[in-house]
A and B are shown apart, each in its own frame.
Chain A
C-alpha cells in the first residue's frame, strides 16, 4: 500500500481501478466456485443417495436368496453412472457383492470402513425386506470430475481476470484523465506560481465539482496573496522612503543645530578677546540671543513631535477668541519679517470669533504658518493674514508671495521631516516639522488645515478651519452683566 501511495497520481488511479476490478472478479469467482462446489457436492450426494436406495431395493431379493451373481449384475448397472466408482454390498457375514471400476481401491472387507480421502463421497443405504434389514449398500462416488470442472472454471476465471485487467487498464488509462487532468493542471499552476513568485497566474477551472471548488479556492488565495504581496511591496517601498527621510532628517537636524551654535561660539570667542567695539559687541550679543532662540525653537519643535509620536501631546481646552491669538502671532514674527522687508497685513474681522481650544497651541500653529511664509518669501515680499468665519467654521489663512509649492509635493507638505527637497533645506533651514505640528494641533481641535499653491514661484496659501463655538457661555454672561 505504501508503494501505491508513492506512485504518481495517474498511475495510482489506474492501479486502484485495476485492483478494484480484479478484487470484484476474484470475489465473484470465489462465490461462483464456492456455489458450484457446494451445489455439485450436494447434487452428487443426492444422486448417489437415490442410486443407493434404488440399488438397495433392487438387490434385496439377491441378498435374501444368497445370490451374489445376481447382486453383481444389479451393481454392474452402475457402470452407466460415471460418478459412482465403487459399490459394495455387505450382509451380516461381511462383503456380499461388489462392483469396482478399474483403477479404484477395492471394497474393504467390513462395512463402514470405506472412508477414503476427500476425493470421494460415501453413501450408505440399508437393504430392507419387509422391515427387516438384510444388509447395506455402500456407494463410493468420486468428486474428481467436479474437481476437474472446478479447475477448468478457475482457469477460465484467471483468464478472465487477465483479460479484464487488461481491459480495466486500457479503460482506466483513458478515464483517469477526468480526475487527474484538473489536479495535475492545478499542481502545475501551483508549481509555476511558487517557482516564478508570480501571483498573477490563475488556475483554469475545468469542472464544477470539488476539484472546481478547489481551483476556485486556490485562485481566491492567489488573489489574496497577490493583494498582500503588492501591499507588502508598497509598505517596503514606504519603509525605505521613511528610512531615507529619517536619515536626511538626521543630517538636517545636525546641520540645523550646529549652525546657530557656530554663530554663538564664534561671537563668544570674539567677545572674550575683548577687542570689539561697543557697537560690535551689541551686534554680537543680538546674534547670540537670536541664534540661541532659534535653537531653542528647534528643540521645542522636536519635543512637540516627540510628544505627538508618543501620544503625550495634550490640549488644555477652553473657550478662545481667535483675533488676539492671530495678532499675537503676527507680533512675534514681525521683527524677523521686517528684517527681510516683508510686510504683514492682517485682514481680521472685528466680530469676536469663538472656538474651543488651547490658546498657546493655536498661537503656535498660526505662528508656524507665518514663520513658514516669511521664511519662504524673498526680501520685499508680503504676507496676508485673513481671519473670518463661515456658518460653521472659523477660518485663518496665511498667503505669501514666496517660492510656492510644486503640485506634486502638495499632498506631502504636512508629513513629518519633509521639505520639498534637500537643497531647499540648505537654502531655507528648518527641520520640516512645523507643518506636521500645525496639522496635528488643528486636527486635535477637530479642524482641518490645507495648503494651496498655484505652482512654483507663485506663492502659497495655508488655511486653518476650526469649528465655531456656537453660543459661548461666557460671552452671554459678559453681555448680561454689561447690560
Chain B
C-alpha cells in the first residue's frame, strides 16, 4: 500500500507539476476546491432569499475571479445558477453562500468572519489563525499539495452540514474556545 500511495503521489505531481509555485495554477486548484466544497456541504433553505436565488461564491481578491468563473462555468448547484462576486467588506457577506478570504485580503478577515458569524456562510481562508478566529475551512500546503482543514464545530454553528466524505479528506481542527467566546 505504501508503494501504491507513493505512485499515486508521483502521478499527482505529474498532474500538478508546480501547484505551489505558479500562481495561476494555484488559483485554478483553489477555485476548483471552492466549488467542490459546495458539492459536499448542505446549506439550509433560509440561506437563500428566494427559491430561484443563485448560489453565490464571494471573493475578496479579483485575481481569483477568472479562475473561479472558469471552474463553475456551465455548472449549477442543486438546480440553482452559480454566480461569482467580489466583496470589499463584511456588510455584503450574508448574501454569499461561500466567501473566500485570500491572503491578499487577510486584514479583512476578522471583519468578514464577524459579519458571517452564525450565518449559513461557508468561510474559507488561508491565514494560520483562520480556524481559531472562527473560520470553517482553511487551505494548507503539504509539500507541493494543497490540502485543507475543517472545523466541523464552526460549520455546525453556521448550520452547514458537511459530508463525511469531505471530512475524511480534510484535517479536522477543533480549536479550544477562547475565553469570552
Contacts and interface: CB of A to CB of B under 8 A. Distances in A.
A181 to B, nearest CB: 76
B178 interface: no
Interface in A37-96: 58, 60-62, 64-73, 76, 93-96
B12 interface: yes
B33 A69 contact: no
B36 A68 contact: no
Given A72-B1, A98-B4, A64 B39 contact: yes
Contact of B8 (A72, A130, A132): A72
Nearest to B29: A66
A68 B8 contact: yes
Given A61-B163, A65-B36, A130-B39, A100 B12 contact: no
Contacts, number: 64
A480 B26 CA distance: 170
Given A76-B1, A96-B11, A97-B8, A66 B165 contact: no
A70 B11 contact: no
Given A61-B163, A61-B168, A93 B4 contact: no
A98 B3 CA distance: 10
Given A61-B40, A61-B163, A76-B1, A70 B169 contact: yes
Contacts of B128: none
A58 B164 CA distance: 10
A137 to B, nearest CB: 15
Interface in A97-134: 97-100, 129-130, 132
Interface in B1-42: 1, 4-5, 7-9, 11-12, 14-16, 29, 33, 36, 39-40
B166 interface: yes
Given A61-B166, A61-B169, A129-B39, A66 B15 contact: yes
B16 A66 contact: yes
Contacts of A94: 11
B163 A69 contact: no
B4 to A, nearest CB: 6
A61 B16 CA distance: 18
A76 B168 CA distance: 15
For the complex of A and B, the 5 pairs showing the least CB-CB separation, nearest first, are A68-B8, A61-B165, A64-B36, A67-B169, A70-B169
22 contacts: A58-B165, A62-B165, A62-B169, A64-B36, A66-B16, A68-B5, A68-B11, A69-B5, A69-B8, A69-B9, A70-B168, A72-B4, A72-B5, A72-B8, A73-B168, A97-B4, A98-B7, A99-B1, A129-B36, A129-B39, A130-B39, A132-B75
